[in-house]
Amino acid sequence: MRNYCEVTGLPECSEVGHRKRTGSRVHLAKRGSIFVARRVSPSTKRRSFCERPRSVGCLVAPGIACKPTEAQSIAMTYLSMLQRPRRNRKSSVVRGFARETHLTPDAFIYPLFVHDGRGVEPIGSMPGAARHDETSLLAEVEGALSEGVRAFVLFPAVEEGLKTKHGEESYNPEGLVQRRIRAIKRRFPEATIVTDVALDPYNIDGHDGIVTEDGRILNDDTVAVLVKQAVSQADAGADIIAPSDMMDGRVAAIRRGLDEAGYTEVSILSYTAKYASKYYGPFRDALDSAPKSGDKKTYQMDPANAVEALREAELDEAEGADMLMVKPAGPYLDIISALASASTLPIAAYQVSGEYAMIKAAGARGWVEERSVVLESLLGIRRAGAKAILTYFARDAARYLREGG
């Protein structure tokens, strides 16, 4: 005897084994449709509904009729889909096949603050980050290396007494950065060292360039100092020079300076699209390097501009840059993406101090789940097209990734 669905009139599936295995799913002639089963009571011959959904796995007795749920009959009437994108999200294995972006610690560059005082000095607006003396710097580098972070960028907190109008301390062979590069290279020759080229930590005015009496930033005079700074960092053992000053023509000048000094293998990671951003606030606390007067809008880019970033990228490429950087990262993902499609050079992005501070602050209050938001923020930067990411989360994020996210 056959049973028929009292709604559709379709016959019950004869594949009893299948029916049993899948519980109350009754496979009708119209294959692929899923129905909620109705149980026919053999004794009374009266029908009672089995309302249990398929996933509950009720064992279906013989004599089943079926009735689609309301949602199912709507789907049968209105939806006829060959494409169901959700199939590619159905399990972690399948999601793994479909995944387009992978976050790995070899993308990370870890910025570290150094000072000439003793010990570790916490930075109020950057919980978890600190100014390191040589011992704690080496410990931090060692810890990060063991997590798979292989590149570091050093930022010096320079003593007030060493700051001048022209930032001569920036190219002192015995300067803080130069000594710390040598210390890291001695202990960990495998560590890749990136250095920041700009005058703000060394300059009495807190600007990236030399400031005139009437408050202008001198481009060409500044570039002359930056070249000396870059060569002195290369002398100390830097692998990658990263000019963050935004003076015009500095990439070409630094490239020539490095080449003349014999450092043809030292790379230039140019801060190509560095915006005049308020997200740098905590960094300036860390180094006590905020401009004493004025702002950085005559050299850093206007946050409203995207096309101009392409112009900067063209110039930096022509001037011999090896990699192009966008900074900040999170609020400028469109710029990362634009440079990644416009240039054949690898793109780096800097998740800056303000981005770090915001995640830390919300995380500490339990307003966001810090660990996941950290990884999501970095994944977003990768997805936009950054090959390398400068992030204060580098060491933590590498550990989160090792622990499975």
Q: How far is the CB of 218 from ligand PBG (least distance, A)?
A: 16
Residues between 291 and 310 with contacts to ligand PBG, criterion CB under 6 A: 296
Provide the sign of the torsion angle of the four alpha carbons 115, 121, 126, 127, taken in this order.
positive
Q: Segment near ligand PBG (CB under 6 A), from 12-20, 44-52, 167-175, 279-287?
A: 279-287
Among 26, 352, 374, 384, binds ligand PBG (CB under 6 A): 352
Give SS3 for 3: coil
* Binding range to ligand PBG, per CB under 6 A, among 11-19, 71-79, 178-186, 195-203: 195-203
Binder to ligand PBG among 50, 176, 198, 266 (CB under 6 A)?
Answer: 198
Sheet holding 36-40, edge to edge: 47-49, 36-40, 64-67
Q: Which stretch binds ligand PBG (CB under 6 A): 30-38, 51-59, 171-179, 277-285?
A: 277-285
Which of 267, 353, 377, 391 is close enough to bind ligand PBG by CB under 6 A? Answer: 353
Q: Give the tokens for residue 301.
A: 């880019």
Q: How many Å apart are CA 332 and CA 327, to the nearest integer?
A: 7
Instruction: Please report whether residue 283 would count as binding ligand PBG according to CB under 6 A.
Output: yes
Report in angstroms how near the CB of residue 82 gets to ligand PBG at its nearest: 49
Cβ proximity to ligand PBG: between 37 and 273 the closer is 273
280 binds ligand PBG (CB under 6 A): yes
Q: Which of 67, 163, 327, 360 is catalytic?
A: 327
Provide the minimum distance between the beta carbon of 33 and ligand PBG in the complex, in angstroms, as a whole number: 57
Nearest partner of 141 among 80, 185, 176, judged by Cα: 185
How many angstroms separate the CA atoms of 171 and 247, rounded? 18
Work out the number of other CB atoms within 10 angstroms of the CB of residue 228: 16
CA angle 95, 97, 146 (to 5 degrees): 90
Contacts of ligand PBG in 239-258 (CB under 6 A): 244-245
67, 274, 296, 360: the active-site residue? 274
Exposed (0-12), middle (13-18) or buried (19+): which is 115, by Cβ within 10 Å?
buried
Q: Give the nearer residue to ligand PBG in terms of CB position, either 205 or 245.
A: 245
Give the list of residues 6+ apart from residue 220 with CB closer than 8 angstroms, or none: 249
Rounded to an integer, what distance in angstroms lies between the CA atom of residue 17 and that of residue 230? 76
Catalytic: 274?
A: yes
| Minimum CB distance to ligand PBG smaller for 280 or for 400 | 280
- Residue 196 engages ligand PBG in binding (rule: CB under 6 A): yes
Residue spans of beta strands (DSSP E) within 68-167: 108-115, 121-122, 130-132, 151-157
Counting contacts by CB under 6 A, is residue 208 touching ligand PBG? yes
Residues that bind ligand PBG (CB under 6 A): 196, 198, 200, 208, 244-245, 280, 283-284, 296, 352-353
Active site residues: 274, 327
